[in-house]
Structure 1
């Protein structure tokens, strides 16, 4: 069999197609380039293929031209490894990290010649499973699509789900198991097992389980990360990271910023041991000695410097995801510099310290400037700064503060460099705040799109003449769609399906669906309201989140 073009440059663990009793297509609802850059996707792929009776293959969203060709030719979307149509697999499991990929899920199901609605699919069709962080925050906008949703970290749940398949699957011909058979598994949500009713004004009146289904779904999490592999099992140059091997250093974040879902739903903060990380760096496919260390709080690992030094001693080089300004040290920067790591990302989030107190970002301007001076002393050529706009209690002067802080960062660098022209670029990345489920800001309204545009224009004009400062930003209208899909109940699937039917025309979907998107996006919610995701125990109580929210609003 001819090897698929996309996998020609791959090295590492590949499955052996057709060898397992249970055939799973692990689907990423975006292109190969994006999907293979996702470490979580690779972690689950490896684990599934370690099961002796499972054959797991991969599937990705084709490029636009290929989609048109497949639609015109009626050729079904196929797996990467064996080129078998996805509708021939027992299970299609989607790994979903971003709300912006929801539309792609529907596209992939259509290309696989499957109905997008679970109620329209047949008993002999594949079981459609969804997992990933966006789903365990709030799966409701996709409740009419997925048969089963995984709420939490998938590594521990996989074997329990497979046990149900093994017990329920007929010996000769595939038939989807009775979905009630999954109800006993902690962290598994079966949307068909729940009835939702609504008040006349639109809020949720009740969320009731049918007999045999639990009233609350408890998020699953792994107590000991060392029990599971946490590195790339396939290396390919066709990703965002090139031919770099990725290693997960930690999971969650100890900082618990109020805007950030990661620090809330990945509680508690957990570390891989140094011994485990050394093994992960060496284990697996051969690489060009390039190791990428990933995690929401890489710099908080107490043995990060020792790990970087150890990798260097083995002849490797290291790249890291963003580091907090207050975790940088002379020794760490020196070790990373020896690995030819010449670009750093710092996330002030806001220009003002007052607004950082609102979002519980424990970082001062002085700490930021100290980190920049440290980077300048080591001749670091590129610095990236992350900012958010549209935050609760944000004032116009805090938009000005983003401009001012960016200029001051450049000034501190030049001053420390003593006139040397080491700095190549300061990249300013401005994202738009979306009030996420399971965070203290889940009740807050999304900012007005017109105001967001005005603020972005202000920042852009303030920095456009500044040498070596380059600004990029999110588009407010797409942030609006993301807010709709992250905060919606199961009725919001109507927007998703209409956008799908109109070729991705979200403007038309928002106009034609007989629901008000502002109800979901721009409405301030009350403490008493039953939220779409309240049936999930994320590991933090609603009372605790509300208390944090009130504390934030009182910051001056």
Structure 2
């Protein structure tokens, strides 16, 4: 791939979009992922935030990533990042924190928040890292969105449209649940003044049509290569002791099957490859029906990792019939006792039975996750 302009043209030209972004609006918003185009557009969360931003009247939005030749400017028009009112980073992995800093440096924007005044964009961080531990990046970000983007991102944009004064905007956000504003929430030593609350997606919100996250563009230049992603559920039925998600995202809450299938039909207009993702994708109560419908549509279907208790033949058969040849499970360790102590009461015999069921159903390849360093 070539320099910035030619790389932008090549990446954009390969996309098939469900959503067209518009840079025009009273509030100019740059939404970015602190990694390469390949990594960024493999993230359903990043793509969904683009959709949520586009739906806010008055907000114009462009994307930015960190590929060589692209850093410091947007993907759509090559707009310098310093020209935006808000720069929002969706950050899922701790090691990408350094790329937030590099992106600001490439754009000529002061890294430390106290050095940025009214002439610079408001720097907002969201995603898993922002919720799990925002403190390492507290000297950098003006605002952290804590929790589900559906609960915290749109209200922030609407408030920014209503309140152009930077300091008043920060003060108002600091008074609301779902935001961490270091300027208001840390003492002089950088210690939190009080406990803050994350806002997660509630069950009744997940039952509303149109709120199922779905890929907004399909590209061969991603980890999933032309596969559109659909979220199945949030939360988890287990409480594994090592897992932050199971203790903080609440109980399993599934989207209605008809809403998921409506998203599948949207994606089917631009791709025949569909991926279902969730913390516990195999535990959706209507997964067998969803997979069978996808099979009847002639779609190639893949799932994110399956919980071992969810590996039932009524799920595995239509999955294999839809083209899946590989599945992923997470035994974590080879010891039944250690697995039980981890809060995962699944025995080796159950694991082997599930693998045999997968083989009988036509699955040919198995990936397993293990945790290194357990006592």
Regarding TM over 0.5, the answer is yes
**Residue 207 in structure 1 maps to residue 206 in structure 2:** no
Distance 1:262 1:379 in 2: 31
Give the aligned partner of residue 206 of structure 2: 225
Q: For the Cα contact (< 8 Å) 2:228–2:267, is it kept in 1?
A: no
**Residue 86 in structure 1 maps to residue 86 in structure 2:** no
- Distance of aligned partners of 1:17 and 1:287 in 2 relative to their CA distance in 1, 3 Å threshold: closer
The correspondence for 2:225, drawn from 242, 258, 265, is 242
Distance 1:158 1:373 in 2: 44
Q: For the Cα contact (< 8 Å) 2:275–2:302, is it kept in 1?
A: yes
Q: Give aligned pairs, total.
A: 366
Give the aligned partner of residue 266 of structure 1: 249
Greater Rg by CA:
1
**3-state SS in 2 of match to 1:283:** helix
Q: For the Cα contact (< 8 Å) 2:23–2:60, is it kept in 1?
A: yes
What aligned pairs does 1:27-426 form with structure 2 within 5 A after superposition?
Answer: 27-63=32-68, 66=69, 77-169=72-164, 177-196=168-187, 207-208=192-193, 215-223=194-202, 224-227=205-208, 228-284=211-267, 286-391=269-374, 394=375
Q: Flag structure 1 segments of 5+ consecutive residues without an equivalent.
A: 68-75, 199-203, 209-214, 395-556
* Alpha-carbon offset, residue 275 of structure 1: 0.9
Q: For the Cα contact (< 8 Å) 2:72–2:103, is it kept in 1?
A: yes
Superposed CA deviations along residues 447-485 of structure 1, whole A, max 9, x for unmatched, are xxxxxxxxxxxxxxxxxxxxxxxxxxxxxxxxxxxxxxx
Cα root mean square deviation, aligned: 2.0
Superposed CA deviations along residues 299-354 of structure 1, whole A, max 9, x for unmatched, are 11111111000111122221101112221122221101111101011110111011
Q: For the Cα contact (< 8 Å) 1:318–1:336, is it kept in 2?
A: yes
- Distance of aligned partners of 1:324 and 1:268 in 2 relative to their CA distance in 1, 3 Å threshold: closer
Give the aligned partner of residue 519 of structure 1: none
Distance 1:278 1:379 in 2: 24
Give the aligned partner of residue 398 of structure 1: none
The correspondence for 2:15, drawn from 10, 13, 26, is 10
Distance 2:168 2:74 in 1: 23
Distance 2:356 2:186 in 1: 57
Q: For the Cα contact (< 8 Å) 1:160–1:185, is it kept in 2?
A: no
Q: Flag structure 2 segments of 5+ consecutive residues without an equivalent.
A: none
* Alpha-carbon offset, residue 16 of structure 1: 4.4
